[in-house]
Amino acid sequence: MKYCTFVTLLLLAASAAHAGNWPQWRGPFFNGSTDEKDLPTEWSTTDNVVWSADLPGVAASTPIVWEDRVLLSGTDSAKNTLQAMCFDRTNGKLLWQHDVADGISRDYRSNFASGSPVTDGKIAVFFYGSGELECFDMDGGHRWGRDIEEDYGPFAFQWTFSSSPTLFEGKLYVQVLQRNVPVRGRGLADQVNESYVLALDPETGKTLWRHVRPAKAVAESLESFATPIPFTFDGQKQLLVTGGDALSGHDLDTGKELWRWGTWNPMRIPHWRLVPSPAAGDGVILACAPKRDPIYAIKAGGTGVLDDSAIAWVSRDNKEISSDVPTPAFYDGDFFILSDVRQCLSRVEPRTGKVKWTIPTPGRAKYEASPLAADGRIYIVNFDGDVTIVNAADGEIINEISMDDPQNGEVVRSSISAAYGQLFIRTTRNLYCVGKK
Q: What is the pLDDT of residue 19?
A: 60
* pLDDT tens series, the chain, 437 aa: 333 333 344 444 443 444 699 999 999 999 999 999 999 999 999 999 999 999 999 999 999 999 999 999 999 999 999 999 999 999 999 999 999 999 999 887 789 999 999 999 999 999 999 999 999 999 999 999 999 999 999 999 999 999 999 999 999 999 999 999 999 999 999 999 999 999 999 999 999 999 999 999 999 999 999 999 999 999 999 999 999 999 999 999 999 999 999 999 999 999 999 999 999 999 999 999 999 999 999 999 999 999 999 999 999 989 899 999 999 999 999 999 999 999 999 999 999 999 999 999 999 999 999 999 999 999 999 999 999 999 999 999 999 999 999 999 999 999 999 999 999 999 999 999 999 88
> Helix, strand or coil for residue 130?
coil
Q: What is the pLDDT of residue 74?
A: 97
Number of C-beta neighbours around residue 279 at 10 A? 32
Q: Which amino acid would we find at residue 156?
A: A
d(CA 288, CA 112): 24
CA distances for 397 relative to 212, 367, 379, angstroms: 45, 15, 10
CA distances for 79 relative to 157, 230, 426, angstroms: 25, 37, 20
CB 94 within 8 A of CB 87: yes
User: What are the pLDDT digits (tens) for 104-137?
Assistant: 998 877 899 999 999 999 999 999 999 999 999 9
Q: Count of H helices and E strands in the chain? A: 2, 33
User: Pairing between strand 284-288 and 295-299?
Assistant: antiparallel
Instruction: Give the strands of the sheet with 123-127, arranged side by side.
Output: 118-119, 123-127, 132-137, 142-147
CA distances for 295 relative to 26, 97, 318, angstroms: 19, 40, 10
d(CA 251, CA 240): 9
> Helix, strand or coil for residue 79?
coil
- H/E stretch holding 149: helix 148-152
CA distances for 52 relative to 15, 241, 271, 426, angstroms: 31, 35, 40, 10
> Helix, strand or coil for residue 71?
strand
Instruction: Give the strands of the sheet with 386-391, arranged side by side.
Output: 372-374, 377-381, 386-391, 397-402
- Tell me the CB-side half-sphere exposure of residue 221, using CA atoms within 13 A: 21
CATH superfamily of 7-435: Quinoprotein alcohol dehydrogenase-like superfamily (2.140.10.10)
Q: What is the pLDDT of residue 393?
A: 98
Q: What is the pLDDT of residue 106?
A: 85
Q: Which amino acid would we find at residue 271?
A: H
Closest CA to 276 of 340, 330, 225, 349: 225
What is the helix, strand, coil percentage profile of the chain, to 5? 5, 40, 55
Which residues are bridge partners to 298 per DSSP?
285, 311
Q: How buried is residue 365: exposed, middle or buried, by Cβ count under 10 Å (0-12/13-18/19+)?
A: middle
Output the CA angle 414-20-56, nearest 5 degrees. 30
Phi and psi at 90, nearest 5°, equal: -80, -30
> Helix, strand or coil for residue 8?
helix
d(CA 87, CA 345): 32
Q: What is the pLDDT of residue 107?
A: 82
Q: Which amino acid would we find at residue 261?
A: W
The domain spans of the chain are: 7-435
CA distances for 429 relative to 46, 292, 311, angstroms: 15, 31, 43
User: What are the pLDDT digits (tens) for 33-55?
Assistant: 999 999 999 999 999 999 999 99
CB 249 within 8 A of CB 237: no
